[in-house]
Amino acid sequence: MGGDADEVDDTDEDLPITLWRIGEHATLLHEGAPAQSVYVLRSGSLKCVKTLEDGYEQVVCFAQPGELLGFEALHCGRQPTSVVALEDATVYALSMTELLGLRQRCPALDDALQLALSQQLTRAAGVAEMMSAVASDVRLARFLLWMSARMAEAGRSPRRLLLRMCRRDIASLLGVAHETVSRSFTILADAGHVKVENREVEILDLEHLRMRARNTRGPLEEAARRRPQPTGKGTPMSALPWLPQMAALSVAA
């Protein structure tokens, strides 16, 4: 297996689903490792990191319980990121070789998989949105709101956050220096939006935090003027496409 995790138990003879336990700082998936399983995070939190050629550790995302991991490797066979536990965590593991057969035998799992994948795509867009802000305090505000939303999804208090990752990891995700993260924390704290105590963050003024997070760049960037301009009128085409063709296409590109 591609990780420092301990196999705990098979859950069922028929189903190749295994529960793994991952200790803090242990690596569940190694970047570049062959794809063998997909995982669903059961408890704890993880970070997905890409080690760039110059040795810089780029954090791509933080994973909360329920998230799907390792699925990216399906199309190229290798893991694009490493996955490291920020605290003790447990995951369900699902062998990739048996994934296909399993999907057919169990439509419920199949649907759940589709949903989870869809969700992961949405989250990826959310990460991009976070990084799109210019000002560093705005980035941090968005990050905190993002974490808060995750807590709410998980049914926990969205006001009290316990950040399991270090400042450097946050800085990496947001694309700023880790000192800047520190400064941005004090900016938000001085403004009375949050109370910060090391990794414990309490959101005091959600509304003002949201307002700050809205600032993207300049004053509206005149983008509001650029209306959709639907032209849309086009000539009909001959009906050559087909299902197999479509299937081939989506594999190809």
Identify which of residues 190 and 236 has a Cβ nearer to its own copies in the complex: 236
CB-CB neighbours of 139 under 10 Å: 24
CA pair distance 111, 19, nearest whole angstrom? 21
Choose among 202, 78, 179, 60: nearest CA to 120: 60
CA pair distance 94, 98, nearest whole angstrom? 8
Q: Is 135 in the site for its own copies (CB under 8 A)?
A: no
The DSSP code sequence of 170-230 is HHHHHTS-HHHHHHHHHHHHHTTSEEEETTEEEES-HHHHHHHHH--STTGGGGGG-----
Applying CB under 7 A, which of residues 7, 179, 200, 202 lies at the interface with DNA? 179
Applying CB under 7 A, which of residues 107, 155, 219, 228 lies at the interface with DNA? 219
Q: Is 195 in the site for DNA (CB under 7 A)?
A: no
Name the minimum Å distance from CB 180 to its own copies.
Answer: 11
Q: Which does 202 bind (CB under 5 to 8 A by kind): DNA, its own copies, none?
A: none
Identify which of residues 37 and 136 has a Cβ nearer to DNA in the complex: 136
- Using the rule CB under 8 A, give the single segment among 43-51, 157-165, 183-191, 196-204 that binds its own copies: 43-51
Identify which of residues 158 and 175 has a Cβ nearer to its own copies in the complex: 175
